[in-house]
Structure 1
Amino acid sequence: MTDLSQNYFVSVAEIAAKLDQATTIAQKLSLTASNARAVALRAGERAAGFRPLTDFIDRLAEITIGSSKKINQMAAVLSQTSAEKVRADGAILHFNSVYKIAHESPYIHSLDEVYERCKSEQDRLEKTYRRQIEQLSEELATLSSELRNAVILATLSRVEASQAGAQYQDALINVADNVEGAAGKIKNHIKYSQQMVSTLEEY
């Protein structure tokens, strides 16, 4: 495997790994929503304003899990395209080397038809590769945008928690802290994945 192909596969693998970690955090976030719902139920009317927020926490977790799975699938497809692109690029480099070395050979142009087919395939793969990277980048940006809502959600949760009374306030504030902390970790994974995508764009 060439250094270039290693760069492709390492970058794609790192994106997949980061999204797996994001999924794990999101699953814990879903558990946080369930716990919050139980606490809010025990608190009764004093936590009435908190209960709808648990639905938003659930939605945030579902969006993250769904989007992470989608991004991982896109990364797998991109990995396959990368492998094909590396082979096509290598073939064209080999052809160019042969043309340069044997340019005076009377039969050199017998390679032209095969070369043109390989060049056409290389161009197709290049366009496919760029399109897939763009789609991956857009999906990561969409997920990052959704996670910005988590900061607002955590703030609202703290406000509602303060109305629940001393018996339940700490537990509900802990929920808000968990939401904000989880979202921050997921955003870091997304940011790293976006950096990896930028690296892929340079190849």
Structure 2
Amino acid sequence: MKVTALIVVCCSLGANAWSFWRSPWVKPREGVTDECLQMAARGDCGFYQCLERRFQCGSEGYALKIGYHLCNKSDEIHSRFTAQGQRYMEGSKVCITNALLPVYKQNSIRCDDVMSEGARAMRTCSYEEFAGMDACTFIRGNMDAYNDMLGTDEISRLMSMGSPRLLARIFIDGARCGATIATERFQSVAGSLNDFMGGVRDSITSWWS
């Protein structure tokens, strides 16, 4: 019942403009370049700009709103992670950009498919181990930096992806690993959307408490 309530609220909060119709096909604006492929191979944040230049989905698309933003946020606080935590983050970034290479190489794609593939890459890579750490070990050893990485703005951006499975992975599993501040922020953002959520907000509040 608790998991069902979370999935309902994630679906409601995550609904974006693409949830109710398929976005049109987008043709590439530039070719696949060796420079961009190398960026993906090393988890460079610039790869997301490559993805956006090739398939222009705008400020609400995955490449700029989610991938590039979160990648830069992790780089900004890189020094605050432990040495092992830094290697974990580097491995995670490489995993995600490499998972998105098939998207980057496509001849055409829909922007909502870029978003869904981005969510899939993030979720899949969250189950991988890097530098001898799984996600829970990473969170517990880097709690302060992790909580700063997932600020209110980042949580709102993640909700806008409309991916209940990714949100459940981040906030349910994160809570089990002790990331209580991140889950409290999630609850706070849900509360700020009370007019839209109505009674569903009460379900998630009850679930967390």
Sort the TM-score into its range (normalised by shorter chain): 0.3 to 0.5
Name which one, 1 or 2, has greater alpha-carbon Rg. Answer: 1
Higher RCO (CA-CA < 8 Å; seq separation 6+): 1
Determine which structure has the larger helix proportion and give its number.
1
